[in-house]
Chains A and B, each alone.
Chain A
Amino acid sequence: MSDQRNVSVRGLTRRFGSNTVLHGLDLELEPGSFTALLGRSGSGKTTLLRTLAGLDPAPAEAAIDLPDRVAAVFQEPRLLPWKRIWANVALGLSGADPKERAERALGEVGLARHLEAWPATLSGGEAQRAALARALVREPRLLLLDEPFAALDALTRIRMHALVLDLWRAHGPTTLIVTHDVDEAVLLADRVLVLDAGRIAADIAVDMPRPRSHGDAGFVALRRRLLSELGLEAEVIREAA
């Protein structure tokens, strides 16, 4: 992965009508880093992710440098209901033996027994693991996760956190997770960005050893700091904690 390029965004402005969502945003991601992007709703985090995923056209005045292979996992699994799980993972794959590669990726996320299942028969967590396998099988240099665990129950979410970290360590893609969950950001990422009014308002390194837990020293302080960056008053934070 030595030829892996940086993710670099300079001067990204996005407007929808009179509403400026991203405001001359600059973003650099180190190769192989795990970054969380926090922000309130409407802060522009989804717009940024969609631009990086190539779903929204990048404006001409912005300088955006991305690796060739980008993959995404969305909040919903977005599996094609009419394709068996392995075929969903192999969707759009080029090169040799797409089925075999899809099966290997599904094995990695613990779905080896569900290769031939229809998406409608999977639980929410299983479907989201299949979506992870579909992203992984492309060996992405940049992995974009758009609130991928928001719709899952708490227990499943904890398992998914561990799985994502395992996969990230094994494959080493530059990973950017968009979330509104401060705990999730602190548990997973090396670096937390807070997006506010279309700009990066805070850029905080998280150097706590993994695996992390809510009881770790520094966790509470970091959490409090991020919450106040997100605009929560100190009293509210103390009550919630």
Chain B
Amino acid sequence: MSDTHAIGARRALAPARPREAVRPPNGAGFGLSRYKRFASSIVILLLWQGASMAGLIAPRTLAAPTTIVATAWELILSGELPHNLLVSLGRVAAGLVIGVSSGVTLALIAGLSKRGEEIVDAPMQMLRTLPFLALVPLFILWFGIGEAPKIALVSLGSAFPVYLTLFAGIRGTDPKLMEAGRVFGLDRAGLIRHVVLPGALPSGLVGLRYALGSALLSLVIAEQINATAGIGFLINDARDFLRTDVIVVGLVVYALLGLLADALVRTVERRALAWRPNLIKG
């Protein structure tokens, strides 16, 4: 788990870089530089297409880009892709609901009371060091090979990042703000509601971003376990028939899910953290 967190951390800690910063001052060159960014990717695609058409890359090694696009279109029209995507999304959603809500609950228990911390934090810190994907064999023995181990894996992958960041956020509350709250008549419940939780929200949302990345990774691994539907099933099935075009379509869908997850958290952040100085100006 520590590996995946490190990756997630880097992505989350290099935050939404203000796009203005990249834009040249006069703004006129913006459109051009934007296309420039994609130029090398397009060249690579063209080379790939050319190599495929010239027979340098066999279809069973890697299908041509045009074939992949056509296959994607077919898969969408036949309903195969939407169906499998829905199954995968259902797994992520169920796993996230369980994982995020248990992460939040445990963080609140450990963060808001000393005894809660004594009970919850030590086992969580110990479990966190375990690479959770290594639990797959155990999960299969416990939950069989149906939906349960897949959802459990996604839950586990998403619970820890939320727990760790929210717990740290709660404990990082500015004592000066707590004092001000006390002077102005807030009781314990009021302090938690008006000072502690809003203050912990930014790091909690960073945790949510890690959690979504981790959930997606868990999904990929989980769908290798004897799945009969889902994007992972689509990929595994295609492997048996040497359909590299279908495999690439599946990979692209996974990538799009990652982008979508990131955009989702950013939207939530923009709304929930509108008070932050760097967001006010943007």
Residues of chain A whose beta carbon lies under 8 Å from any beta carbon of chain B: 53-55, 70-72, 74, 76, 78, 80-83, 91-94, 118-121, 134, 138
Q: A76's closest neighbor in chain B, by CB? A: B176
Complex CA–CA separation, A177 to B142 (angstroms): 67
Pairwise interchain contact A78-B275, C-beta atoms closer than 8 A: no
Given contact pairs A91-B194, A118-B274, A120-B277, A80 touches B177 in the complex (Cβ within 8 A): yes
In the A-B complex, the 7 residue pairs with the closest CB atoms: A92-B185, A78-B180, A120-B277, A82-B198, A92-B184, A118-B275, A82-B275
Complex CA–CA separation, A7 to B180 (angstroms): 21
Pairwise interchain contact B276-A83, C-beta atoms closer than 8 A: no
Q: List 25 A-B contacts (CB under 8 A).
A: A54-B182, A55-B179, A55-B182, A72-B183, A74-B176, A76-B176, A78-B179, A80-B181, A80-B198, A81-B275, A82-B199, A82-B273, A83-B198, A83-B275, A91-B184, A92-B181, A92-B186, A92-B190, A92-B194, A118-B275, A118-B280, A120-B275, A121-B277, A121-B280, A134-B184
What residues on B are CB-neighbors of A92 within 8 Å?
A: 181, 184-186, 190, 194
Residues of chain B whose beta carbon lies under 8 Å from any beta carbon of chain A: 176-177, 179-186, 190, 194-195, 198-199, 201, 273-277, 280
What residues on B are CB-neighbors of A121 within 8 Å?
A: 277, 280
Pairwise interchain contact B177-A78, C-beta atoms closer than 8 A: yes
What residues on B are CB-neighbors of A55 within 8 Å?
A: 179, 182-183
Q: B197's closest neighbor in chain A, by CB? A: A82
Given contacts A83-B275, A134-B184, list 15 more A-B pairs with CB under 8 A: A54-B182, A70-B183, A71-B183, A74-B179, A80-B198, A82-B273, A83-B194, A93-B185, A118-B275, A118-B280, A120-B275, A120-B277, A120-B280, A121-B280, A138-B184
Interface of B is mostly: helix
What residues on B are CB-neighbors of A120 within 8 Å?
A: 275-277, 280
Q: B186's closest neighbor in chain A, by CB? A: A92
Pairwise interchain contact A54-B183, C-beta atoms closer than 8 A: yes
Complex CA–CA separation, A120 to B273 (angstroms): 12
Pairwise interchain contact B190-A80, C-beta atoms closer than 8 A: no
What residues on A are CB-neighbors of B176 within 8 Å?
A: 74, 76, 78
From residue A76, how far is it (CB to closest CB) to chain B in Å? Answer: 7
Complex CA–CA separation, A120 to B195 (angstroms): 16
From residue A41, how far is it (CB to closest CB) to chain B in Å? Answer: 18
Complex CA–CA separation, A82 to B181 (angstroms): 13
Q: B176's closest neighbor in chain A, by CB? A: A78
Q: B281's closest neighbor in chain A, by CB? A: A121
What residues on A are CB-neighbors of B280 within 8 Å?
A: 118, 120-121
Complex CA–CA separation, A93 to B199 (angstroms): 20
Partner among B181, B182, B184, B275 whose Cβ is within 8 Å of the Cβ of A71: B184
Complex CA–CA separation, A82 to B277 (angstroms): 10
What residues on A are CB-neighbors of B194 within 8 Å?
A: 80, 83, 91-92
From residue B263, how far is it (CB to closest CB) to chain A in Å? Answer: 23
What residues on B are CB-neighbors of A70 within 8 Å?
A: 183
What residues on B are CB-neighbors of A76 within 8 Å?
A: 176
What residues on A are CB-neighbors of B181 within 8 Å?
A: 80, 91-92
What residues on A are CB-neighbors of B198 within 8 Å?
A: 80, 82-83
What residues on B are CB-neighbors of A72 within 8 Å?
A: 183
Q: B277's closest neighbor in chain A, by CB? A: A120
Pairwise interchain contact A74-B275, C-beta atoms closer than 8 A: no
Given contact pairs A91-B184, A92-B186, A134-B184, A81 touches B276 in the complex (Cβ within 8 A): yes
Complex CA–CA separation, A81 to B183 (angstroms): 17
From residue A85, how far is it (CB to closest CB) to chain B in Å? Answer: 11
What residues on A are CB-neighbors of B184 within 8 Å?
A: 71, 91-92, 134, 138
Complex CA–CA separation, A12 to B156 (angstroms): 55
Complex CA–CA separation, A92 to B195 (angstroms): 11
From residue B185, how far is it (CB to closest CB) to chain A in Å? Answer: 4
What residues on A are CB-neighbors of B195 within 8 Å?
A: 80
Complex CA–CA separation, A229 to B176 (angstroms): 32
What residues on B are CB-neighbors of A53 within 8 Å?
A: 183
Q: B184's closest neighbor in chain A, by CB? A: A92
From residue A119, how far is it (CB to closest CB) to chain B in Å? Answer: 7
Complex CA–CA separation, A119 to B190 (angstroms): 20
